[in-house]
Amino acid sequence: MVKINDLEIGDGRRFVLIAGPCVIENRDITFRTAEEIKKITSRLGIPYIFKSSYKKANRTSLNSFTGLPVEEAFAILKEVKEDFELPVLTDVHTEREIQKAAEVADVLQIPAFLCRQTELLIAAGKTGKAVNVKKGQFLAPEDMKFVVEKIESTGNNKILLTERGTTFGYHNLVVDMRGLEIMKETGYPVIMDATHAVQIPSAGGISGGQPRFIKTLAKAAAAVGIDGLFLEVHPDPSKALSDAGSQLPLNELEELLALIMKIDEIVKSEH
């Protein structure tokens, strides 16, 4: 089990939601999304961590939106954390970013493409913050034990592992649900990212997606048994500045979560 403030992940009783817009586009969208998701999760009794990247370093095209000025983005994240009293998660891409991000974020996220970067993992671990590692699209689930060992070497045991699909040929991802069980063998909480898993990487210079399968993958993962559900959520995905093809519309979130709760309760009542 990993404890983040007063929130417990992997307690075997309920799943945690990690959700928010892909990237901080502006204050209005960030606040509107955080406020609405908090209302929904409060009604449903689901523990909630707000997620948004303060910048996006791994864009397909040189012309893609990478984020606001760093100080502005961090200020918005800090406001969300304080105004809504929520733990927040954001990505880090290099060792030099980590200390600044750790001043605001409760969870540091290692992007999938960087999950084998030893120095990055160790630097994140040394902060003492929870570290969420996205499993690389190129990595077998059993190899995540080596990622875990790198972070554990710093004395940090606040580790989360997230499934987000595996490369299957060009421009396609698949989710092998066996991987959720395999990663559980590390002893750390396992999260399902049902939005990045529907991406179509590099579809004509930007990442596309098949968002109609978000709910399918979320339900399937809940049936396997997960400790958390990761969703990128936007008020209007068609206008999103990043991952427009794979975010869940905000107005569809509550219905999906209510269904996931029912599946989650059935699965966990068996243990």
Query: Above 80 in pLDDT, residue 171?
Result: yes
How much is the average pLDDT of 233-260?
A: 96
How much is the average pLDDT of 85-92?
A: 98
Q: Which long-range contacts (CB under 8 A, 24 or more apart) does 234-242 make?
A: 234/21, 234/22, 234/29, 234/33, 235/29, 235/32, 235/33, 237/211, 240/21, 240/22, 240/25, 241/23, 241/25, 241/65, 242/22, 242/23, 242/25, 242/53, 242/56, 242/59, 242/64, 242/65
pLDDT-derived band of residue 270, with 50, 70 and 90 as boundaries?
Answer: confident
How much is the average pLDDT of 167-190?
A: 96
pLDDT-derived band of residue 206, with 50, 70 and 90 as boundaries?
Answer: low
For the chain, what is the mean pLDDT? 95
Percent of the chain whose pLDDT exceeds 90: 86
How much is the average pLDDT of 146-169?
A: 97
Query: Above 90 in pLDDT, residue 62?
Result: no
**pLDDT tens-digit map of 224-241:** 999 999 999 999 999 999
Please tell me the class of the 2-269 domain. Answer: alpha beta
CB contact set of 7 (below 8 Å; sequence gap of 6+): 16, 47, 49, 87
pLDDT-derived band of residue 58, with 50, 70 and 90 as boundaries?
Answer: confident
pLDDT attached to residue 240: 95
**Class of residue 268 by CB neighbours under 10 A (exposed 0-12, middle 13-18, buried 19+):** middle
pLDDT attached to residue 205: 60
Spatial distance between the Cα atoms of 220 and 222, rounded to a whole number of angstroms? 5
Spatial distance between the Cα atoms of 179 and 163, rounded to a whole number of angstroms? 8
**pLDDT tens-digit map of 66-82:** 789 999 999 999 999 99
Q: Identify the DSSP state of 211.
A: G
How much is the average pLDDT of 246-262?
A: 98
Q: DSSP assignment of 48-73, as one string?
A: EEEE-BS-----SSTTS---S-HHHH
Q: Return the structure tokens found at 13.
A: 């009783």
Q: Return the structure tokens found at 105.
A: 């974020």
pLDDT attached to residue 52: 98
Query: Above 90 in pLDDT, residue 61?
Result: no
pLDDT-derived band of residue 136, with 50, 70 and 90 as boundaries?
Answer: very high
pLDDT attached to residue 203: 62
CB contact set of 53 (below 8 Å; sequence gap of 6+): 22, 23, 24, 67, 90, 91, 242
Query: Above 70 in pLDDT, residue 181?
Result: yes
Spatial distance between the Cα atoms of 124 and 206, rounded to a whole number of angstroms? 29
pLDDT attached to residue 56: 82
pLDDT attached to residue 168: 93
Sorted by where each begins, the domain ranges of the chain are: 2-269
How much is the average pLDDT of 176-185?
A: 98
pLDDT-derived band of residue 204, with 50, 70 and 90 as boundaries?
Answer: low
Spatial distance between the Cα atoms of 238 and 61, rounded to a whole number of angstroms? 18
Is 162 in contact with 193 (CB distance < 8 Å)? yes
Is 160 in contact with 9 (CB distance < 8 Å)? yes
Query: pTM value?
Result: 0.96
Spatial distance between the Cα atoms of 239 and 224, rounded to a whole number of angstroms? 33
